Structure 1
Amino acid sequence: MGLMTPIEALDASGSFDAYTAKPAGTPKAAIIVIQEIFGVNPGIRKKVDDWAAKGYLALAPDMFWRFKPGYDVDPDVPADMQDAFVAMQQFDIGKGIEDVEATIRAARKLMGGGKVGVVGFCLGGRVAFLTATRTDVDASVGYYGGGIDTMLGESHAIAKPLMLHFAEDDHFITAEKRAAIHAALDGNKHATIHEYAGVDHGFATTSGKRRDDAAAELADGRTEAFFAEALA
């Protein structure tokens, strides 16, 4: 069971909460979990708890705190899904990356130094990609990050390990968009891209209608091995 850690925004505009779970012993490293458009909901909190159980300090910052603090909705409820799409329009991704940077600094302070990784889902996948290009994070993982294809001009700045997971049947991230991402990143020794056949966007959610157990377990296993190496 986690607790809320207050983190000061870098622009001094206030503070936001990060759901935080600590391991039983000394953390191996820290992992920041970046939410989907549905907030720091039970699925995201479970991912935080699971990373702590694996020996990491884990945090999930409230990325919507500037306009919908404490946002928490269920993607399997149609009205919640529609509300989340509306909420997403208010999100300033530049400020979001600043908030991740603040969380990286907070994590290092909580550990007394050490490495930090970021893993994000959906909107968080895009944030994870930009975290790799704009911050000194030690490793980043993005699951089905929408909009990455529009931000490839920043890919030259990737200098630390990055892993991206995509669904081959993703109705948001088309084959054409994934091809553009491959074209920009396949030559970068720091970047690894995996695609999963027969699944759609959201396949690695912890539960619910979107989850595909086989693809989620494969992707999550790759992510765990990736962080074990990159954050050692």
Structure 2
Amino acid sequence: MSEWVNLTAVDGHELKAYVAKPEGTPVGAVVVVQEIFGVNPSIQAVVDGYAKEGFLAIAPALFDRFERDLQLGYGPDDMKKAFDLYAKLDPSIQIKDVAAAFAYVKATAGKVAVTGYCYGGLMTWVSAVRGEALGVVPACAVAYYPGGIGKFATEQPTCPVMLHFGADDDHIGTDQVDAVRNAHPGVEIFTYPGVGHAFANFARSSYNQEAAQIADERTLQFLKTHIS
């Protein structure tokens, strides 16, 4: 069962979030952090997928701070709008929205993981290294192709972390991946040969089914290890 709910961040900002509930008692919860295209159908599908695996899952609408109910596609016009909005995003602000979603599911599901894609992947890492002040202490965190992670690479995560990167990602340099690897040997980092950015998004032309399936299987096992 899925629905939209209303959340209030610590600074008083009101935002929506897409929530999917499993059948029966949740084994735990997952906060899914969007790409720069809003909580669109592809992100909703991720949330629904985690619910089918027994998790209470939620995706906060980060763009509600700029435009309500925004769901973008991947055509040229939407891509331009997405990058215009990306320039307005600030991890120190968006972490408040992630924290609101985290608190919502933690109240009923106990242990909570955070995962995300692209900018959401970055926010997943930020949640792991800076979320504690806002009550965000994940059981674990999984980031898919987190752009900009190099800027935060030396910061210490409060939980186990797994990262997925395409070996041919032209948005994220190998220097960023190496920065995390060198600073945190315990972080599980997987690089997938022959695939680029957004390889796990089935709705984009960059989708690679084989790599996405392997990454998702690793993620699911990681979540179940640390949550259930």
TM more than 0.5:
yes
Is 1:214 aligned to 2:210, yes or no? yes
> How far is 1:57 from its partner?
0.4
Indicate the residue corresponding to 2:167 in structure 1: 168
> How far is 1:207 from its partner?
2.5
> How far is 1:196 from its partner?
0.4
Task: Name the SS for the 2:46 alignment partner.
Answer: helix
Indicate the residue corresponding to 1:114 in structure 2: 110
Q: Distance in 2 between matches of 1:16 and 1:124?
A: 16
Is 1:91 aligned to 2:89, yes or no? yes
Indicate the residue corresponding to 1:7 in structure 2: 7
Indicate the residue corresponding to 1:39 in structure 2: 38
TM-score by length of 2: 0.94
Deviation track 1:92-116 (CA, whole Å, cap 9, x = no partner) reads: 211111111111111112x1x5100
Indicate the residue corresponding to 1:139 in structure 2: 140
Number of equivalent positions: 223
Deviation track 1:167-209 (CA, whole Å, cap 9, x = no partner) reads: 11000112222222221222xx3x2111000000000003331
Indicate the residue corresponding to 1:23 in structure 2: 22
Q: Distance in 1 between matches of 2:177 and 2:226?
A: 24
- List gaps (5 residues or longer) in structure 2: 132-136
Task: Name the SS for the 1:38 alignment partner.
Answer: coil
Q: Distance in 2 between matches of 1:131 and 1:176?
A: 22
Task: Name the SS for the 1:79 alignment partner.
Answer: helix
Counterpart residue type for residue 207 of structure 2: R
- List gaps (5 residues or longer) in structure 1: none
Is 1:193 aligned to 2:189, yes or no? yes
Contact 2:114 / 2:138 at 8 angstroms: preserved in 1? yes
Q: Distance in 2 between matches of 1:91 and 1:69?
A: 15
What is the alpha-carbon root mean square deviation over aligned residues?
1.1
Contact 1:47 / 1:206 at 8 angstroms: preserved in 2? no
Contact 1:46 / 1:206 at 8 angstroms: preserved in 2? no
Q: Distance in 1 between matches of 2:99 and 2:64?
A: 15
TM-score by length of 1: 0.93
Task: Name the SS for the 1:219 alignment partner.
Answer: helix
